[in-house]
Amino acid sequence: MKPATGTALVTGANRGLGLETCRQLGRLGWRVWLTAPDPDEGQQVRDALRSEGLDVHFEPLDVASPESLSTLAGRLEQQGVRLSALINNAGVAMDGFNAHVAEYTLAVNFFGPLHVTERLLPLMEEHGRIVMVSSSLAELKDYPPALQQRFDPPPSKEQLKALLRSFVEDVRDGVYEARGWPGSAYRVSKLGLNALTRLLAQELKPRNQLVNAVLPGWVRTQMGGQHAARSVERGADILVWAATLPPEGPTGGLFINRRPIPW
């Protein structure tokens, strides 16, 4: 079946999987709002995609900045933008491990998608799709039962936020190992993102929004590195697939290679 067309917004789209997702959606005939933290870089990338004949617009967005998100939302509202898909792609995998790394990683990879989704929800069309870009490093089967139980089943949204804040505090206090956390902020951020996906999918069912998490595989981007197994074109396929699901498509799932897998 031919995928639906519409209007999509992609975060962290100046390079890597975000940029390639904008390109692939553009080629499918979608209007795309490419967002990125740096305005100069974002505009350059927008111009490059436009020169390929694609319908691409740019707005700055730092997903960890409430001011930046508020400005973006206001500008989209002013222009009467309606979104058929929101792709929460922006992410960081920082070097080192300390309380600052933990806090900033969660700010971008967990609280970023949460706040962006909540703020842009009023702009979403019925049957809109929300895509969370997760990681195979957050599959629950790879963690001890005590840690699995914190995320599965997911607690309430407020409890989940508190749980992730407690991780940062435990790193700051040097007790994260004793409290059963892995020594990786990236892993914890994506564990949180998966739980959030499940909660939002339930919450937004009555509004007919589809919320799914996707795994791109190990992809040759700045984050994945040059030795990664997958091309960026192949990695972006799952983001595009989840953004173009039909109205009766799945919600509340975790997908790789267009197939569902357990959380």
Instruction: Check if 186 is active-site.
Output: yes
| Cβ-based nearer residue to ligand NAP, 4 or 217 | 217
Query: Closest CB to ligand NAP among 106 and 147?
Result: 106
Q: How far apart are CA 134 and CA 40, in angstroms?
A: 27
Binding residues for ligand NAP (CB under 6 A): 11-12, 14-18, 36-38, 61-64, 89-92, 108, 133, 135, 216, 218-219, 221-224, 228
Which of 4/198 has CB closer to ligand NAP? 198
CB of 184 to ligand NAP, least distance (A): 12
Query: Shortest approach of ligand NAP to residue 209 CB, angstroms?
Result: 20
Would you say 182 or 224 has its CB closer to ligand NAP? 224
Compute CA 221 distance to the chain's CA centroid, rounded to the nearest angstrom.
16
User: Shortest gap between Cβ of 220 and ligand NAP (angstroms)?
Assistant: 7
**How near is the Cβ of 37 to ligand NAP at its closest, in Å?**
4
Cβ(44)–Cβ(60) under 8 Å? no
State the minimum distance, in angstroms, from the CB of residue 43 to ligand NAP.
13
Closest CB to ligand NAP among 4 and 190?
A: 190
Residue 31 structure tokens:
């209007």
**Rounded CA separation 228/79 (Å):** 40
Min CB(76)–ligand NAP separation in Å = 16
Using alpha carbons only, how large is the chain's radius of gyration in Å? 17
Structure tokens at 142: 């790879």
Q: Identify which of residues 4 and 242 has a Cβ nearer to ligand NAP in the complex.
A: 242
Two tokens, residue 120: 């842009």
Give me the catalytic one of 104, 143, 176, 186.
186
Catalytic residues: 186
